[in-house]
Amino acid sequence: MKKEQSGIEDVYQKLQSWLQDTKNNEISSVVEVVEQAKKILIAAEQIPEQQVKQFITNLKYDLSDFYQQYQADVKHSVYLDILNESLWANLAKITDTSQVEWAELMDDFQHQDGYQIGDYVGFGQLQCQTCQHCVTYTHAGVVTDCIECGGKSFHRLSLTP
């Protein structure tokens, strides 16, 4: 019985210590946050409204400018282009090519004369009708001139499942 009572007292003491520690730390954290908020409010009240509006306008401009620069950097990033192509190539490797072949078949019917520059093409290989150079498409894209000869006409090669 004494042993059980000693165990209960020990648990009670640990709980008491934990509560005291929590009380001390939480109260000081809350007090610090309240004091910080007071300082911010006092400082904000001392700033004229026109300066606050100017600050907000400048911040919006800076964020917009940052976003536009970021978009331009992303658009011209060789690293991101390679990463994107690598992702599509890896997805293409794990794709059931027989299923893709059936899906692309309808597109081929619409392009019985082959593909021309500016046409949209899905997954697969296009072969230049002039020099026989092959270009692999791992995702939807626009057909461009042949990089070997500048040819403008292509036909799709069958996929091998």
Closest Cα partner for 107 from 69, 155, 42? 155
CA distance 130 to 141: 21
pLDDT, tens only, 101-149: 555 555 555 556 688 888 888 777 899 999 999 988 877 788 999 999 9
> Is the pTM for the entire model greater than 0.75?
no
Buried b / exposed e along 55-68 (16+ C-beta atoms within 10 A): eeeeeeeeeeeeee
pLDDT, tens only, 38-70: 887 777 778 788 887 888 888 888 888 888 888
Residue 92 above 70 pLDDT? Answer: no
CA distance 37 to 52: 17
